[in-house]
Chains A and B, each alone.
Chain A
Amino acid sequence: MGLDRTIVIGGEAGQGIQTVGQLLAAACHGAGFEVLAVNDFESRIRGGHSSISLRVADRPVAAPCRRIDLLVALDARSEAVHRPDLAEGGMVLADSAAGLDESRALSFSFDQMARDAGGKILANTVAAGACLGLLGAPEDHCRKIVRQQFEAKGDEVVTRNLAAFAAGYAATREERFKGRIQAGWDLAPRRRLMEGNLSVALGAVAADCRVGAFYPMSPATGIMAHLASLSGRYPLVVEQAEDEIAAANMVVGASFAGVRAMTATSGGGFCLMTEALGVAAITETPIVVVNAMRPGPATGLPTRTAQADLNFVIHAGQDEFPRFVFAPANPAQAFETMIRAFDLSERFQVPAIVLVDQFFNDSLFTVADFPKPPEVVRYVIGDADMVDPAAYRRFAVTADGVSPRALPCRGKALVVAASDDHREDGHLSETIEDRRKMVAKRFAKLPDMEAAMRPPEVLHPDADLLLVTWGSSRGAVREAVESLRGEGRSVGAVHFCDLWPLPAVHVAELLGSRPFVTVEQNFSGQLGRLLRAQTGLAPGGSITRTDGRPFFAEEIVAGIEKNEMT
Chain B
Amino acid sequence: MVTVEDYRSDFENEWCPGCGNFGILEAMKAALVDLGLEPHQVLIVSGIGQAAKTPHFLKCNAFHGLHGRALPVATGAKLANHALTVLVNAGDGDCYGEGGNHFMAAIRRNLDITLIVHDNRIYGLTKGQASPTSDLGMPTRIQPEGTVSEGFNPLAAALALGAGFVARGFSGDKAQLAMLIAAGVRHKGFALIDVLQPCVSFNHIHTHGWYKQRVFDLAAEGHDAGDWNAAMAHGRQWGDRIPLGIFYQEQKPTFIDRIGMLQKGPLIDQAAVAFEL
Contact = CB atoms under 8 A, between A and B. Distances in A.
A228 to B, nearest CB: 11
16 contacts: A210-B80, A210-B270, A245-B69, A246-B71, A249-B69, A249-B73, A250-B79, A252-B65, A257-B84, A261-B80, A372-B275, A407-B268, A408-B84, A409-B61, A415-B61, A418-B62
A420 interface: yes
A249 B101 contact: no
Contacts of B261: 231-232, 235-237
A255 interface: yes
A96 B74 CA distance: 59
A414 B59 contact: yes
Contacts of A249: 65-66, 69, 72-73, 76
B204 interface: no
A115 interface: no
Nearest to B105: A242
A210 B267 contact: yes
A499 B56 CA distance: 38
Given A210-B80, A427-B11, A253 B73 contact: yes
B226 to A, nearest CB: 29
Given A210-B267, A249-B65, A276-B69, A376 B79 contact: no
A102 interface: no
Contact of A245 (B39, B43, B72): B72
B72 A237 contact: no
Contacts of B277: 202, 369-370
Interface string A411-438: 1111111111000001110000000000
A316 interface: no
A205 interface: yes
B76 to A, nearest CB: 3
B101 A246 contact: yes
A242 B40 contact: no
B45 interface: yes
B105 A254 contact: no
A378 to B, nearest CB: 10
A275 interface: yes
Interface of A: 202, 205-206, 208, 210-211, 213, 231-237, 239, 241-243, 245-259, 261, 275-276, 279, 283, 369-370, 372-373, 376, 407-409, 411-420, 426-428
Interface string B101-132: 11011000000000000000000000000000
A208 B60 CA distance: 28
Interface residues of B, number: 52
B76 A416 contact: no
Contact of A253 (B11, B76, B105, B260): B76
A258 to B, nearest CB: 5
Contacts of A206: 275
B267 A211 contact: yes
Given A208-B272, A409-B40, A419 B66 contact: yes
A208 B63 CA distance: 23
A247 B75 CA distance: 10
Nearest to A210: B267
Contacts of B200: none
Interface string B14-43: 100000000000000000000000011111
B73 A414 contact: no
A564 B149 CA distance: 65
B53 interface: yes
B81 interface: yes
